[in-house]
Structure 1
Amino acid sequence: MHTIERLSAEEFDASVKDLAALLVDAVDSGASVGFLAPFGHEEAAAWWRAQAPSVAEGGLLVWISREDGVVTGTISLALARKPNARHRAEIAKLMVHRDARGRGLSRALLAAAERAALDAGADLLLLDTETGSLAENVYLTGGWTRYGIVPEYAGSPDGTLQDCSFFYKRLTVSA
């Protein structure tokens, strides 16, 4: 069984090695998460460490899922900083290890981030993902609205330019 927990700044620092392994797995398995192959553990750890100040100040919220003590997934929520944008946030780096896919973990991680967004006063979420990817299906079937596709927006891990779908989701407080 998977457990999902939001990381404190200290827990985030202690989890960088596991988060890096997850990011390397995502890139190795072809996920378009912003990095090109080959992509090593040190490079992945450096990227995560660069996020630490945002985590510490509360602008970036990060969750991990674990199964039997092993990190199996993550999701981040970037809260808007502009005064006129405090009602929105961005979902970033939703990743599930290839060995843990197909068990509803993406949806569970999304649900945790959505609850936290509402708690933070953000009722509009945004994200982007590679058009035609497995991730896109999670959003298309999970209540998200695709509002556009930009051709050749980002490179896949092999450097091939891919179309990208942009989504939003309006959150409502449940009664």
Structure 2
Amino acid sequence: MTKPDIAIDILDTGAAGAALPALTDILRDAVANGASVGFMDWNTLADFERYWTGIVAELASGQVFLLVARSASKIVGTAQLHLIGKPNQPHRAEIAKVLVHSSARRQGIGEALMRAAEAAAREAGRNLLVLDTDENGAARRLYNRLGWSEVGTIPRFALMPDGSDCGSTFFYKNLA
């Protein structure tokens, strides 16, 4: 099986607004497939759209970067880089909502998004990244493989979409 050509873009507010239907579908797909990404299985498309509309609004601040992965010109994945704006943390950023549509998984898209997010962090002058993920999810293996350091797991940190408990494992990566 050959890997598809994957293009990673960082979207501005206009491009992100145009991408809302695809982003909404990726989030809906993630939740429908049991990902603990801040939403429950009872959330609606309107809830997912409202979330992405909020992210698009944050892009104008320059503190949030929205990355998308395209395969055959179709958006199949996304990730966010949030620059920390506190005066005592000018070196730090957080990776959030690394999502790959279920129809495009296991093709290197998550890895490509992570590498692009790390590069964007470096370009923004950030050299310490943090993230958290479902303790039992496939993303945990990805982050370990990419050289992220696992700090630990907080049990019952969040809920899975079906309402069951979900521990969150926290990671960091020093880019310096």
1:119 is matched with which residue? 123
Q: Over residues 115-152 of structure 1, what are the superposed CA-to-partner deviations in whole Å (9 max), with x where a residue is unaligned? A: 01011111000000011211111111110001111011
- Matched residue pairs, number? 172
Is 1:91 equivalent to 2:66 in the alignment?
no
Match of 2:29 among 25, 29, 33: 25
Q: How do 1:1-175 and structure 2 match up within 5 A?
A: 1-172=5-176
Equivalent position amino acid for 1:70 in 2: K
Give the CA deviation at 1:38.
Answer: 2.4
Equivalent position amino acid for 1:20 in 2: T
CA–CA separation in structure 1 for the residues paired with 2:106 and 2:36: 18
TM, length-normalised to structure 1: 0.95
Give the CA deviation at 1:159.
Answer: 1.1
Match of 2:162, SS state, is: coil
CA–CA separation in structure 1 for the residues paired with 2:22 and 2:53: 12
TM, length-normalised to structure 2: 0.95
Give the CA deviation at 1:52.
Answer: 2.1
Give the CA deviation at 1:161.
Answer: 1.1
Match of 1:86, SS state, is: coil
The unaligned stretches of length 5 or more in structure 2 are none
The unaligned stretches of length 5 or more in structure 1 are none
Equivalent position amino acid for 2:59 in 1: V
Match of 2:60, SS state, is: helix
CA–CA separation in structure 2 for the residues paired with 1:150 and 1:106: 24
CA–CA separation in structure 2 for the residues paired with 1:4 and 1:114: 12
Give the CA deviation at 1:53.
Answer: 2.4
RMSD: 0.9
CA–CA separation in structure 1 for the residues paired with 2:39 and 2:149: 26
CA–CA separation in structure 1 for the residues paired with 2:49 and 2:166: 25
CA–CA separation in structure 1 for the residues paired with 2:137 and 2:116: 22
Of 42-51 and 90-99, deviating more is 42-51
